[in-house]
Amino acid sequence: MTTKINKRDLIALGLAGAAAAAFPASALAQAAKAGAKPQEDIVFGASVPLSGVFAFAGIGIDAGIKDYLTILNEGGGVKGRKVKYIAEDTAYKVDQSMAVFKRITSQNKVNLYYADSTGFVKAVNPEVDRMGSILMTGASFAREISNADKYPLQFMVGPDYSEMVGILLQYIAKTKPGAKVALVYSDTEFGRDPVEAARNGMKSLGLVLATEIVTAPGSVDVSAEIVKLRRADPDFTIFHGYVSAPIPEFITQAKSLGLKSQFMGTFWTMDNSTVMKMGPAADGFLGVMPYRYYYDTEGKSPMLEKIRKMRPEYQSTGYMQGFLAAMLLTEAARRALEAGNELNGKNLKIALSSIRNFDTGGIIGVPLSIKGNSIPIGRIYKADFKQQKMVPASDWIDLTRR
């Protein structure tokens, strides 16, 4: 006997196949939920940019988080509970970051989360508040996020952009009181973030705002801006809102015109490889760094030594940021569990805020205390082109101790 497949059977088969293919993840998740044992691991989710324009930092951040969690889990985890890291690439796009967040949180009971951008942090904040189960940090240092009333379940692993510029201004005021300072920033949310605070900071520190120059992000031709900068003749020029371009172009042209201005940058510009790629003109480039560099050997830095042992090659500042983010998030979890509290956003934030004089194992050169959503500590580093290294140019500056 032969069985013939008619057109209707074919359609039915096709439909069944399509339905099965359409929702494999949700079906699997539900099946897993039904059959799995109670979740013991603490889940650390992350929307990380492993591709796209921010991949240069995202890859380091991902590695930093992974390495810290490896060290932590090998040492017994958090109160005996392992920390499971689930991360996905976002290509630095808000909609994809959100999709990653939704996917990870709908398939796991997530308590700790790393977010990849200011846009995503803003978009996800209402959801984080609504869920109430997550403590979040991330790559954004936007000033808005340091508002703990607006972002109660978030924090940032370092000073916000305004505080970074504040640290630079403190250094300037100490080095050359009454100095003329120029601000060069990109016409983006990132670039404009610290501008108002910088203007106010200069006033209160007795510094003079020589000029403000706004450029397109990543612009190449800066000849008109250089003329403006030359006219203002500042003692210090602070760049913000860029990773690299147009800083090298600015510095090269300014030096060829004989400008004596000292050039400075903020965190995302300050990776060793980024500064060294600017070329010999970048020798002496100053900037604010909340963490020690991979190769720093001064003082006691057991964590840096562990990192160097795990990874003999240079690790970026993004790596350090991810490493410290994982350290602080899991420290909050440890404190919450030690206090006998359930792991939820509120308890985790309370636990995080209880951190006083915390030793980061040398990632930050001074013990840190967390009072709000930011950690306003940083240090000025200077580019030494001969050594191909960033070397300390100041002591650690803690803005809370002003």
Partner 1 sequence: MRIGSAKQSYGADAALFDSRTQKAWALLGVAALAAFPFIASEYWLYLACLVSINIASAMGLNILTGYTGLVSLGQAAFMGLGGYTAAILQLRYGTPLLLNLFCGGVVATVAGVLVGLPSLRVKGLYLAIATIAAGVMAHFLFAHLPALTGGPAGLSVPPARIFGVELDTSAKLYWVIVPITALLLLGAANLFRTRIGRAFIAIRDRDISAEVLGIPLLRYKLLSFAISSFYAGVAGGLFAYFFRAITPESFPLLMSIFFLAAVIVGGMGTVLGSVLGAVFMTLVPELLKLIVSALPLGGNATLVLSPVRTIVFGALIIVFLIFEPLGLAEMWRRTRRAFHLWPFRT
Contact 225, 211 (CB under 8 A): no
Site string for partner 1, 310-349 (x = CB under 8 A): ----------------------------------------
Q: For partner 1, which stretch binds (CB under 8 A), given 17-25, 158-166, 322-330, 344-352?
A: 17-25
Residue 62 touches partner 1, criterion: CB under 8 A = yes
**Whole-number minimum distance, CB 51 to partner 1, in Å?**
4
> Considering beta carbons, is residue 119 or 345 the nearer one to partner 1?
119
> Is residue 123 a contact partner of residue 94, using CB atoms and an 8 Å limit?
yes
Instruction: Give the residue from 53, 79, 50, 84 showing the smallest Cα distance to 66.
Output: 84
Task: Determine if 51 is a binding residue for partner 1 (CB under 8 A).
Answer: yes
Q: Is 122 in the site for partner 1 (CB under 8 A)?
A: yes
Side by side, the strands of the sheet bearing 83-89 are 83-89, 42-48, 110-115, 135-138
- Interface residue with partner 1, options 61, 65, 96, 111 (CB under 8 A): 96
Could you say which DSSP state residue 185 is in? E
Give whichever of 98 and 303 is closer to partner 1, judged by the CB atom. 98
148 binding partner 1? (CB under 8 A): no
Q: Compare residues 141 and 263 and give the one whose CB is closer to partner 1.
A: 141
59 lies in the binding site for partner 1 (CB under 8 A): yes
d(CA 306, CA 27): 42
Q: Long-range contacts for 250-257 (Cβ within 8 Å, ≥24 apart)?
A: 250/184, 250/222, 250/225, 250/226, 251/278, 251/281, 251/282, 251/285, 252/279, 252/281, 253/222, 253/223, 253/226, 254/226, 254/229, 254/230, 255/281, 257/226, 257/230
Query: Amino acid letter at 58?
Result: G
Enumerate residues 206-245 that contact partner 1 by CB under 8 A: none
The string over 11-22, giving b where at least 16 C-beta atoms fall within 10 Å of a residue's C-beta and e elsewhere, is eeeeeeeeeeee
Q: Is residue 88 near partner 1 by the rule CB under 8 A?
A: yes
Three-state secondary structure string covering 114-137: EECCHHHHHHHHHHHHHHCCCEEE
Query: Looking at beta carbons only, is 26 or 204 nearer to partner 1?
Result: 26
Q: Which of residues 269-308 bind partner 1 (CB under 8 A)?
A: none
Report the residue from 45, 119, 201, 362 that binds partner 1 according to the rule CB under 8 A. 119
66/85 Cα distance (integer angstroms) = 7
Helix (H) or strand (E) holding 88: strand 83-89
* Nearest distance, CB of residue 97 and partner 1, angstroms: 11
Of 48, 47, 291, 59, the residue nearest 157 (C-alpha): 291
Q: Which residue in 73, 81, 91, 148 binds partner 1 (CB under 8 A)?
A: 91
26 in contact with partner 1 (CB under 8 A): yes
Among the listed residues 39, 106, 256, 273, the single contact to partner 1 using CB under 8 A? 106
Which window, 183-191, 279-287, 336-344, 370-378, contacts partner 1 (CB under 8 A)? 183-191
Q: Footprint of partner 1 on this chain (CB under 8 A)?
A: 7, 10-11, 23-26, 29-30, 50-52, 55, 59, 62, 87-89, 91, 94-96, 98-99, 102-103, 105-107, 119, 122-123, 125-127, 130, 142, 144, 150, 187-189, 191-193
